[in-house]
Amino acid sequence: MNAAQDLSFLALIGNAHLIVQLIMALLLIVSLTSWTYIFRKMFAIRAARRQTEQFERSFWAGGNLHTLHQSASSQRDQSGALARIFEAGMGEFIKGKQVAKDALDMGAVLDSARRAMRAAFQRELDGLDIHLNFLASVGSVSPYVGLLGTVWGIMNAFRGLANVQQATLAAVAPGIAEALIATAIGLFAAIPAVVAYNRFTHDIDRLAIRFESFVEEFSNILQRQSR
């Protein structure tokens, strides 16, 4: 029973070297932060996908573009990324059309509207990409930080054998077990971060394709309306 208690998970962490404990604490903090970002990003992407689908249904329903623009402008924070891209392009088109005098001016207005949508498109992508670099860093660095704790712990375990006349597996096992927990915690932090990063990157890329397709299709609609 004593041996089992000594080799329990909490006991091994409590008996680990101070440096190893600090590394474990750092990895646990990183893991908790990573999980916070994972859940926040999951909800944000889910909301962006839902808002995009809602706006696409409203847009392709064939309603009045000016009415849709007013609705998107009045509910800018709740309308979603695609609605804000539309609002930026349509707003620029309306302002430019009021002062355009000929076809050459209308060409400049269309270019201005496209640039406005591209700028809004990039801002929305930057907002969706936030904290992804942190997840990528956690996924790539955490195993090595855990390995550092393991190496340090094993080094101290073998240094402790210098004071023992007869080295046995029972004497070195607790120290090695304490050290290996650091690697386990490092993997625990890294694996969810890598999986989440790959999944979120895929979802954001799919949203970016939908946004880009909308920019091109809406630009064609504005070009037809300018004639």
Q: What is the pLDDT of residues 2-51, one digit of tens each?
A: 444 455 666 666 777 788 889 889 999 999 999 999 999 999 999 999 99
* Residue 13, domain member (yes or no): yes
Confidence of residue 96 (pLDDT cuts 50, 70, 90): confident
Residue 190 lies in a domain: yes
**DSSP 8-state secondary structure symbol assigned to residue 226:** T
CA distance 79 to 207: 15
| Tally of structural domains, the chain | 1
Q: Is residue 94 part of a domain?
A: no
Tokens of 44: 């944000």
For tokens 């989440």, what's the residue?
A: 196
Residue 54 resides in a domain: yes
> Is residue 85 situated within a structural domain?
no
Residue 33 lies in a domain: yes
Report pTM.
0.82
The parent domain of residue 26 ranges over 2-63+132-225
Q: Taken in order 71, 72, 73, 74, is the CA torsion positive or negative? A: positive
166: CB partners within 8 A, 6+ apart: none
In a domain, 110, yes or no: no
